[in-house]
Amino acid sequence: MRRVTNLYRSSVGKKVLMAVTGVIFILFVVGHMYGNLKAFYGPDVFNHYAEFLREMGSPLFMHGQLLWIIRIALLVAVFFHVVPAIQLWLKGNKARPVKYARRLEIEETTIGARTQRWGGVLLFFFVIIHLLHLTIGSLHPDFVPGDAYNNLVVGFQETPVAIGYIVVMGALCLHLYHGVWSSMQTLGISHPRFNRYRRPIAVIVAAVVFFGFITAPVGVMAGILVLN
Ligand code: HEM
């Protein structure tokens, strides 16, 4: 146990924890993005899919139970992704209270790396607003419980909301790009033989997630996703 706490206390341990929880989020966003694409098959398919999420694990689990277990696991993952990030951020500031007069731009300093922290903060607040918008419905103009398709289409019929989602998906894409790239290094997939694949893999994951997610707001704005 002491080994685990000692590892957590070190910067490397915090980075490993962030990388592992980051992989959990990547799996979640890829699955979520894939599920959203079902909206293009129409309201029945999409609502059936939303209902499946609640029925998952039946008959072993009661209605919604497995979904709640996944939600709680994701919340725990958020905690262990955000807390070490803040601790590393504070540690970095403490180690260098006076800012560099000029930053040396090394290869690793991509736009994704430079915006990683603020991108993370933005995503944190996005998820809260997003849940109030499309899951709880308190930020939605006409939320119908159990009609996920209606909520999605009506939600994006407000063009500024649809554009806001697209902009945040851009930030998510940058965060994912740098996250995938750096987590491969943290988790030890950093070897001269693999290094040349790290950047293309990060680009592919980020691009697939970005284009997959924006299909819903773009689909509504283009009149492809409509209410029946
Ligand atoms: C354009 C992008 C997105 C669209 C169109 C979208 C759409 C939706 C919809 C329709 C729901 C409600 C599903 C239901 O009631 O069954 C939902 C739930 C949710 N979304 Fe998204 N989403 C997007 C991006 C994201 C991103 C980037 C994240 C996280 C980083 C995220 C996290 C969640 C979570 C945590 C839930 C709640 C799931 C639950 O506990 O039931 N979404 N989303």
What is the pLDDT at residue 7?
Answer: 73
Express each pLDDT in 65-116 by its tens digit.
999 999 999 999 999 999 999 998 888 777 666 666 655 555 456 676 778 8
Q: From 44, 27, 35, 57, select the one nearest 213 (Cα to Cα).
A: 35
Q: Choose which residue among 47, 135, 136, 166 to substitute to test ligand 1 binding: the one with the highest number of ligand atoms within 8 A of its C-beta.
A: 135
What is the pLDDT at residue 103?
Answer: 55
- Cα–Cα distance between 200 and 205 in angstroms, integer? 9
Express each pLDDT in 27-41 by its tens digit.
999 999 999 999 999
Ligand 1 cavity residues, CB under 6 Å: 29, 32, 36, 50, 53, 71, 123, 127, 130-131, 134-135, 148, 152, 165, 169, 172, 213, 216-217
**pTM, to two decimals:** 0.90
Residue 130 Cα to ligand 1 midpoint, Å, equals 7
Give the chain's radius of gyration (CA, Å): 20
The closest residue, in CA terms, to atom 41 on ligand 1 is 135
- Cα–Cα distance between 48 and 147 in angstroms, integer? 9
State the closest ligand 1 atom to the C-alpha of 71, by its place in the atom list counted from 1. Answer: 40
State the closest ligand 1 atom to the C-alpha of 123, by its place in the atom list counted from 1. Answer: 30
What is the pLDDT at residue 107?
Answer: 47
- Cα–Cα distance between 73 and 80 in angstroms, integer? 11
Q: Which domains does the chain have, with CATH numbers?
A: 9-95+108-221 (1.20.1300.10)
Of 4-13, 83-92, 97-106, 169-178, the least confident: 97-106
